[in-house]
Amino acid sequence: MMTQACRHCGQDLTRQFLDLGYAPPSNAYLAAEDLTAPEVTYPLRLMVCDSCFLVQTQDYTAADSLFDKDYAYFSSTSKSWLAHAATYAAAITGRLGLTGDSFVVEVASNDGYLLKNFVEAGIPCLGIEPTASTAEAAEALGIPVERTFFGEAFADDLAASGKSADLIIGNNVYAHVPDINDFTRGLARLLKPEGVITLEFPHLMRLVEFCQFDTVYHEHFSYLSLGTVARIFEAAGLRIFDVEELPTHGGSLRVYGCRKDSGHAETGAVSGLRAEEQRRGMETTGYYADFQHRAEDVKNRFVSFLLEARQAGKSVAGYGAAAKGNTLLNFAGIRPDLLPFVCDAAPAKQDKFLPGSHIPVLPPQVLQDRRPDYLIILPWNIAEEVRQQNAGLAAQGTQFVTFIPETRILGGAA
């Protein structure tokens, strides 16, 4: 096994948390002509640092090869995520008193799903987004976008040009950066003296609690607890003054950060959640000991379900060509013989094939014609949204299935 140093504190990593075998990058969707060409896969393993307890992937892939011009994830595909973004924009505007004289920066602004709310409110903003396909979608909404990766050097350039921020937003990007220290120093450099940073990321505590191993993929370099993020912030001259627990992505945190010498008072939520993490043992090595076996149990239940369905003559389809689904499918070795197709509402993914498994991605409309006995919802975090969108299938006998944290077979929307 290769030797790697912790991305934050530099300590050699010796403790393996999870091994999911080999997989291609989870968003590297294939065209039909790609199916006859060799497909590159990489080991998908997580290590945990015995010093700062940052959980991280082993280094095999580079960010610029993962987030390229063909990157196919568009945030606006999910209506529930759009609603989440609109609610946040209204709340943070009121909390910070943002006006037309303020300046908001979103790192990894994707297709403009969030910043469009600030544009509509007349609050100046800037998106930073390295993937051309999503940046173009944001620009079409009137959002200024810098097409680059964010880090300390770029933040210095922005600040020097007079673009220091009252608010810096990073939703589901913090886990995606290979150099988390450089990224965090960049946040500090770009922030105004009394400015605020909000970052949302999946909470490692919930990942372990609910066995959400399918949220592990090469694009996620880090898996984060509040305690570890507090240490990373501190090293960059920042501090966390508030935190919220969110239901998104199976359990996320939204941390509120500021400069160490800022006037923002720390809320009791910070110390409360730090204490809860410590009570659960997140800063002990034993906390990470049996996760591999739990992941393998989910995989085995998934494979058994598909085999039993085929033997019983039941038809099965998947919904959601999401990264988490690709992790599960590739870990379980599923191919089109057991899961003939997956539907997805994103046009950029339709008529493509899932990486690794080579399962075709079709538009959701085909479900009305094929009416599968079982519809497996791979992005379980939006299972209720998918059930509501496909309620008509339940009336025709389709049952909806999720496998994490446990196997659930459900009828139509509640």
Predicted local distance difference test score (pLDDT) of residue 75: 74
CATH number, position 377 = 3.40.50.720
**In sequence order, which ranges of 104-211 are alpha helices (DSSP H)?**
115-120, 132-139, 152-160, 180-190, 204-209
Query: Is there a domain that residue 69 lies in?
Result: no
Residues 49, 82: one domain? no
Residues 215, 241: one domain? yes
Q: In Å, how far are 163, 174, 260, 387 from 156, measured between CA atoms? A: 10, 19, 19, 46
Query: Is there a domain that residue 234 lies in?
Result: yes
Q: What percent of the chain has pLDDT over 90?
A: 86
Residues 121, 17: one domain? no
Predicted local distance difference test score (pLDDT) of residue 74: 74
CA dihedral defined by 376, 382, 384, 385, rounded to 10 degrees? -110
**pLDDT, tens digit, for every residue of 108-140?**
999 999 999 999 999 999 999 999 989 999 999
Query: Is there a domain that residue 405 lies in?
Result: yes
**pLDDT, tens digit, for every residue of 13-41?**
999 999 999 999 988 999 999 999 999 99
- In the numeric block, which tokens belong to residue 167? 């608010």
Average pLDDT over residues 327-345: 97
Residue 148 has pLDDT above 80, yes or no: yes
- Phi and psi at 349, nearest 5°, equal -100, -20
Residues 242, 333: one domain? no
Predicted local distance difference test score (pLDDT) of residue 61: 55
Residues 19, 91: one domain? no
Query: Is there a domain that residue 273 lies in?
Result: no
Query: Is there a domain that residue 326 lies in?
Result: yes
Residues 250, 357: one domain? no
Query: Is there a domain that residue 139 lies in?
Result: yes
Residues 250, 366: one domain? no
Residues 311, 255: one domain? no
Query: Is there a domain that residue 62 lies in?
Result: no
- Structural domain tally of the chain? 3
Residues 254, 129: one domain? yes
Predicted local distance difference test score (pLDDT) of residue 64: 47
Residues 353, 246: one domain? no
Predicted local distance difference test score (pLDDT) of residue 72: 47
Q: What is the pTM of this model?
A: 0.89
Average pLDDT over residues 310-326: 96
Range of the domain at 20: 4-57
Query: Is there a domain that residue 281 lies in?
Result: no
